[in-house]
Copies of this chain bind each other. A is one copy, B any other.
């Protein structure tokens, strides 16, 4: 376990990924492959990934696009025509991984079924992220994060007792599926190292979302009882939740009896641990509102900052509920480099999220800012043997292209932020 130096080869260095994905789940996956050193070639239509026009643009540039497409190259290729598809075949022949987030079967309809892909490149790892999976009755349904949240049970447990099921504001099913796919691709590459052959890897939004149900699922399986919606209260443990300091709320989660004793001791009511009304979790749970009131009375005597310092010293997990301005000013978040500013030639510095995963030997790095649409068309086509003349001819016929960004969205007022379908072609 010598520390690898950043000069050492990154985990996916030297591998080429052909990336047919759009919007969110797929681009999140291929971004992580790029962060790990792969050469990611994003194949875009003449109009470009929809996210190039989403979110607030600055200097004609979408920070949403920028943040999910760093460490990628962009080529423009018209896959609706045979000529474009034959260029894609050349790219596939040169690649290690092919990723798409079309609905299952769409790639085959485009002429790239399993047999053809095997013929072109027997060592290829193919990967697809989709909504419902490639077998089963819903295989042709369009998917979307909100729908996957609804159907997976995620929403059924979020929210309040008397209220409606509630979505998570984060596009969690897209992102979790993208993360599963990055893991699956890396594992399949390792299987290829052993077996010599590529294989197909599939991450499914609803499946990934279901896997997040964790002990809520195992508890349902063993008891047959549906979990309830309990807001910020824990369904089975008390005390737990948000408590009111003199200047705002604190999240406190005393996770077992040892920590609970530390907590009650720190706020001066340790005697409750031996009070016959509160000496088991069952009793505390039954008297949750009285207990939370007792705690609130104590917590109200100090500020957030003073309690957070004291409770952390006592070993009690706690923290502020932070809005994004507080998150990105938090000294810990800064120390973890969870925001980075990337120079985008022509667009200045773009701020984006950093690398959540820390590989100490071969750390993730920005090697390339998110590309202009078609910025690497010439370079990439040359790499698979096309001559300058051939490339020019493809461009003239608009099969390939390098479209300057100022040919982008015509009507900036039509620009909307937020997710769009990962599935719809």
Contact A191 B324 (CB under 8 A): no
Could you tell me which residues of chain A, from 333 to 363, have a CB within 8 Å of some CB in chain B?
A: 333-336, 338-339, 350-354, 356-362
Chain B residues near A186: list those with CB within 8 A.
183, 186-187, 190
Closest CB in chain B relative to A299 CB, distance in Å = 15
Contact A332 B153 (CB under 8 A): no
Question: Does A369 count as interface, using CB distance less than 8 angstroms?
Answer: no
Contact A256 B421 (CB under 8 A): yes
Chain B residues near A218: list those with CB within 8 A.
55, 63-64, 66-67, 352-353
Contact B56 A222 (CB under 8 A): yes
Choice from B199, B324, B420 contacting A153 with Cβ under 8 Å: B324
Question: Does A26 count as interface, using CB distance less than 8 angstroms?
Answer: no
Chain B residues near A76: list those with CB within 8 A.
none
Contact A170 B418 (CB under 8 A): no
Contact B417 A236 (CB under 8 A): yes
Closest CB in chain B relative to A350 CB, distance in Å = 8
CA A350 to CA B218, docked complex, whole Å: 9
Could you tell me which residues of chain A, from 5 to 26, have a CB within 8 Å of some CB in chain B?
A: 8-14, 24
Contact B321 A202 (CB under 8 A): no
Choose among A1, A220, A320 the residue with the greatest number of B CB atoms under 10 Å from its CB: A1
Contact B12 A187 (CB under 8 A): yes
Chain B residues near A159: list those with CB within 8 A.
166
A413 and B232 in contact, given A199-B362, A360-B199 (Cβ under 8 angstroms): no
Could you tell me which residues of chain A, from 215 to 263, have a CB within 8 Å of some CB in chain B?
A: 215-223, 226-227, 229-232, 234-237, 240, 242, 249, 251, 253, 255-256, 258-259
Chain B residues near A135: list those with CB within 8 A.
335-336
Stretch with Cβ within 8 A of B (4 or more), from A82-90, A206-214, A289-297 = A206-214
Please encode chain A, from 137 to 174, with 1 for each CB lying within 8 Å of some chain B CB and 0 for all others: 11011111111011111111111000011111111101
Choice from B132, B204, B359 contacting A184 with Cβ under 8 Å: B359
Closest CB in chain B relative to A39 CB, distance in Å = 15
- Nearest opposing residue in chain B for A57, CB measure: B222
Choice from B168, B198, B240, B334 contacting A158 with Cβ under 8 Å: B168
CA A223 to CA B210, docked complex, whole Å: 34
Contact B421 A249 (CB under 8 A): no
Question: Does A379 count as interface, using CB distance less than 8 angstroms?
Answer: no
State the oligomeric state as a number of copies.
2
Chain B residues near A321: list those with CB within 8 A.
150-151, 155-156, 165
- Nearest opposing residue in chain B for A67, CB measure: B218
Contact A222 B58 (CB under 8 A): yes
Contact B64 A317 (CB under 8 A): no
Contact B164 A166 (CB under 8 A): no
Which bracket fits the contact residues of A? 35 or more
Choose among A11, A121, A182 the residue with the greatest number of B CB atoms under 10 Å from its CB: A11
Chain B residues near A389: list those with CB within 8 A.
none
A153 and B419 in contact, given A166-B158, A218-B63, A231-B166 (Cβ under 8 angstroms): no
Contact B229 A169 (CB under 8 A): yes
Question: Does A50 count as interface, using CB distance less than 8 angstroms?
Answer: yes
Choose among A118, A176, A338 the residue with the greatest number of B CB atoms under 10 Å from its CB: A338
Contact A153 B114 (CB under 8 A): no
- Nearest opposing residue in chain B for A356, CB measure: B207
Closest CB in chain B relative to A256 CB, distance in Å = 5
Of the A-B pairs whose beta carbons lie under 8 Å apart in the complex, a sample of 15, sorted by A's number, is A1-B121, A1-B124, A1-B199, A4-B197, A24-B215, A135-B336, A137-B332, A142-B312, A150-B320, A166-B166, A169-B229, A210-B333, A220-B324, A226-B323, A280-B413
